[in-house]
Chain A
Amino acid sequence: MAAVSTLERTTFRTSRLLEFCSRKELVAQTGHEPDAWPLVVLKELLDNALDACEEAGIVPEIAVRVEPRAITVVDNGPGMPPETVTDILDFSSRVSSREAYVAPDRGAQGNALKTILAMPFVLDGQAGRVEICARGLRHQIEFAVDALRQAPLIRHHHEEHDVRIGTSITVAWPESAGSMLADAEQRFLQVADDYTWLNPHLALSVTWFGERSAVRATDPEWPKWRPSDPTCPHWYTPQHLEHLIAAYLTHDVELGRERTVREFVSEFRGLSGSLKQKAVLAATGLQRAPLARLCDGRTIDRSAVEALLDAMVACTRPVKPEALGIIGKDHLQCRLEAAGCEMATFQYKQVKSTTAGLPWVIEAAFAWCPDLTTRRLITGVNWSPGILNPFRAVGPSRQSLDTVLSQQRADRDEPVIVLLHLACPRVEYTDRGKSAVVMTR
């Protein structure tokens, strides 16, 4: 019998970057179809700019400029460090200073900026360009196709630049997607404006194809929880703490350092004092133990994490809801008045409480605006407006805000403005598009 030839299959190595740079992957990562991508760019860049300013204790002044071929966001923050730019170009890992922490952050996705970098390339199919100017450097990041490997190729150049204050990020918008940008105008301008409703300290100017509008801050000293504030043990579940410990351990391995449990504990709100740290360590028997003690080979010791969390909770007090930051009646009154509302119909309500150690604040405002032809709905979570209304299916009954507003005769065709905002350190969504917050009750 003649010998049958066999095929020795070759294992091909393909780029993960290619996966990342596909339309399908970006839709999955952002939770939005391409027609909403101009809004995704706006939201992610504004969230980052606000967080950077707040972290540095700077009153945010942000400018958004949209031109036929570019979206640019400029802030007055401390400026993005060069190493952060390098890190975000590593598409094999997430880069986030927020993802593992439980805190009332605007976003904690960990890969938002990566999706923005890839977006022009995915829209164009051949090339894409993003420019970041900060700390005296201009970074040119270009995406192109490696014809041989059929994979995207990233080129990163940087040169000296005169920008000393803040960060300027320009996302080049491909000509082929120009109509997408024009179609998004109304929603883009509204989402940008929504930021000024939810952030009393923000001064924002938006220039759309040469037409400029600006909104001044109503309260530049507005107090709110800052991204740099220590997080509170009461906000964590054992799973969340386990996730944070794992992130620290991985980070420490990469840097070749060892962290003690005491160092880890000291980073939490209410545990910076040595007496409290000693009490936590004594309760758990982890005096002088390295954080790695909580790791049993490749897995984290859940019972040890639970005991540690119990001890940390016992030694600290929950954070009061008002410490998160309250937008406030005065600010919303100003915004509604500026929008032309009949202020005799203005209503504002605030409810705040703490549930199982987790503080939360709900604020709502309403006014009749006779000049409007349709309803304006401003919704947001942790001072970041939603591209989609995040209260579309709330609670076990999945009741929708739209249904409630309809029952209240505030349908889409009514000339009213309604604002609804939720602040809470732990907000979970059903999807990456953040279209529905998860509530267990």
Chain B
Amino acid sequence: MDSTAIFDVVRSVTGAWARQRKAEEREASRVSRRRDALVRSRRMTIREAAWSVMPRAYLKASSGGTLPAHARQIMYAARGEIQRLTGRTLDDQYFTQQLLPDFMNEHPSATAEWDVVFDARGHFHEPHTGRTVALGTIEVRRYLRDVAEHTLPELQVGLPEPAIFPTCGPDHRYGAILFVEKEGFLPLFRAVHLAERYDLAIMSTKGLSVTASRLLVDRLCAAHQVPLLVLHDFDKSGFSILGTLRRDTRRYAFRNRIEVVDLGLRLEDVEDSELEAEDVVHRSDPAPNLRENGATAEEIAFMRTRRVELNAFASADFVAWIERKLGQHGITKVLPDNDSLTLAYRRGIASDYIAFRLRGAIEEARQHAADAPAPDDLASRVADGMRADPARSWDELVWQLVLEHSSGRRSGRLDSDAEA
């Protein structure tokens, strides 16, 4: 524990008093107005106002708790009252990113049933399948549910059958999750097929990992024994990002112990690759935070005044550097067991058989359709259907006529078969 923390807290609670007493020292007459000054200076803070209106705002935004409420919806429901109580303008980011999560953390039982949705501030990409998940609360919940409930689907009737074996989640698809603290590298990774060549799921956020991303890795990495590889800048926020994925924070408490591998820039990488640094000014001493998040004394000394971004690499060097690190940590492609491979092989044979038979059926169907006469009053019958049910579209009505025609033909054939 840092001794300065103790005195900072004392200074914080005595700040208003100190200001008043110093003012009295400058102007003795202020002593007589002490009460007025101290009471007037004690306006309600935004936090206090937010605490007083939060439950009402949630109920309003969630239609009485019956629907999920987006954090910004709650902000809009609370803003007017908070501004009226404090006389100050409410910063929407401060509300959605700090006040609302803080309130929920401090009132766990009162907010246990709240269904609050936070913005997606990043994305998660599976290799090969093309599946992308926005890192928002609802999207991550849905993906986790899909992974948990995933079963092998029945063979689909359609052409062409994709070569990809149907999976959902890490099983038979990816062996590690690569977290990148920036969204902008994805096109580069796509171009070099990084995800596919190493069977990596790639997750990126704008800066600090969002709560939804931590929920995702907490569940996936623990349940499927896949490591989380963290790619970060060589700066205070880069190390903070690593820290938030390794330990509990105000916003998120991990349920599981997961394997987190620091794949980010370290001083050694900066020196080996002769990366260019840029100057940085910190508002407060970054050392305690850096130390807590695993930086060495030498690295802390460097980062007090400078930082190095991943962007300092040229693209090719960047990819080579990542691949070297992946190799060092034994990240390789996924190879399922023999039973799974056999299952996939047989499934492929079945798909191919269906495709072959369907191609013949398609040709036959085309000929059958060309020979079928269209009803003369097609336009008027569709128009009648639209008048009867304005919610239906023209093509739905055409499809209904086709079904009626086919059904009539089939029943007629059945009748004639019976007479015969």
Measured CB to CB, the residues of A under 8 A from B are: 317-318, 320, 342, 344-345, 347-351, 353-355, 358, 360, 362-366, 368, 370, 391, 394-397, 399, 401, 404-405, 407-410, 414, 416, 418, 420, 422, 424, 439, 441
User: B391 interface residue, CB < 8 Å from A?
Assistant: no
Q: How far is the CB of A340 from chain B (nearest CB, A)?
A: 14
CA distance A350 to B21 in the complex (A): 24
CB atoms of B22 and A347 under 8 A apart: no
A366: B residues at CB distance < 8 A:
13-14, 17
A345 and B9 in contact, given A320-B248, A368-B17 (Cβ under 8 angstroms) = no
Which B residues lie within 8 Å of A391 (CB)? 6
Q: In the complex, are the beta carbons of B6 and A408 less than 8 A apart?
A: no
Partner of B14, one of A347, A362, A439: A347
In the complex the two chains form, is B5's CB within 8 Å of A368's CB?
A: no
A420 near B6: Cβ-Cβ < 8 Å: yes
Known: A342-B35, A342-B39, A345-B39. A439 touches B3 (CB 8 A): yes
Give 1 or 0 for each of B216-247: 1 = CB within 8 Å of chain A CB: 00000000000000000000000000000001
Further pairs besides A368-B17, A401-B7, A441-B2: 13, Cβ < 8 Å: A317-B257, A342-B35, A347-B14, A347-B15, A351-B8, A395-B4, A396-B3, A404-B7, A407-B18, A410-B17, A420-B6, A420-B10, A439-B1
Residue contact B2 to A439, C-beta cutoff 8 Å:
yes
B5: A residues at CB distance < 8 A: 351, 353, 362
The CA of A366 and the CA of B248, in the complex, are separated in Å by: 30
Task: State whether A409 and B18 are in contact (beta carbons under 8 Å apart), knowing that A317-B257, A399-B7 are contacts in the complex.
Answer: yes
Given A342-B38, A355-B292: A418 and B16 interface contact (C-beta under 8 Å): no
Chain B residues lying within 8 Å of A353, measured Cβ to Cβ, are 1, 5
Q: In the assembled complex, which residues on chain B have CB atoms less than 8 Å from the CB atom of A362?
A: 5-6, 9
Cβ of B12 < 8 Å from any Cβ of A? yes
Residues of B within 8 A of A (CB): 1-18, 21-22, 25, 35, 38-39, 42, 247-248, 253, 257, 288, 292
Nearest chain A residue, comparing its CB with the CB of B43: A344
List chain B residues, Cβ under 8 A from A404: 7, 10-11
When the two chains form their complex, are residues A345 and B16 in contact, meaning their CB atoms are under 8 A apart?
yes
Contacts A342-B39, A368-B38, A401-B7 given; indicate if A360 touches B14 (C-beta within 8 A): no
10 nearest A-B pairs in the assembled complex, by CB-CB distance = A395-B3, A409-B21, A408-B14, A366-B13, A347-B13, A439-B3, A344-B39, A408-B18, A364-B9, A344-B42
Of B1, B5, B15, B21, most A-chain CB atoms within 10 Å: B1
Distance in angstroms between the alpha carbons of A416 and B20 in the assembled complex: 13
Nearest B-chain residue to A411, judged by Cβ: B21
- CB atoms of A408 and B39 under 8 A apart: no
The answer to whether B38 touches A394, judged by C-beta atoms less than 8 angstroms apart, is no
A-B contact pairs, 11 of them (CB 8 A): A345-B16, A351-B5, A355-B1, A366-B17, A394-B7, A401-B10, A404-B10, A409-B17, A410-B14, A420-B9, A424-B1
* Chain A residues within 8 Å of B39, by CB: 342, 344-345
- A342, A358, A407: the one within 8 Å of B1 (CB): A358
Determine chain B's interface SS by DSSP, over half rule.
helix
Q: Nearest A residue to B35 by beta-carbon distance? A: A342
Number of A-B contacts (CB under 8 A): 106
A408 touches B1 (CB 8 A): no
- Does the CB pair B3–A364 fall under 8 Å? no
Q: From known contacts A344-B38, A424-B1, A441-B2, infer whether A364 and B10 are also in contact, taking CB-CB under 8 Å.
A: yes
Quick one: given A439-B2, A441-B3, are A347 and B18 in contact (CB under 8 Å)? no
**Quick check: A348 and B6 within 8 Å, CB to CB?**
no
Q: Select B38's contact among A345, A365, A422, beta carbons within 8 Å.
A: A345
* In the complex, residue of chain B having the shortest beta-carbon distance to the beta carbon of A414: B21
CB distance from A57 to the nearest CB of B (A): 21
Q: Enumerate chain A residues within 8 angstroms of B17, measured Cβ to Cβ.
A: 345, 366, 368, 408-410, 416
Query: Considering only CB atoms, which chain B residue lies closest to A370 in the complex?
Result: B35
Give Cα A353–Cα B21 distance, bound, in whole angstroms. Answer: 32
Cross-chain contact A410 with B9 (CB below 8 angstroms): no
Q: How far is the CA of A204 from the CA of B105 in the complex (A)?
A: 32
In the bound complex, what is the Cα–Cα distance between A358 and B2 (angstroms)? 12
What's the nearest-Cβ distance from chain A to residue B57, in Å? 21
Q: List chain A residues, Cβ under 8 A from B6.
A: 362, 391, 394, 401, 420, 422, 439
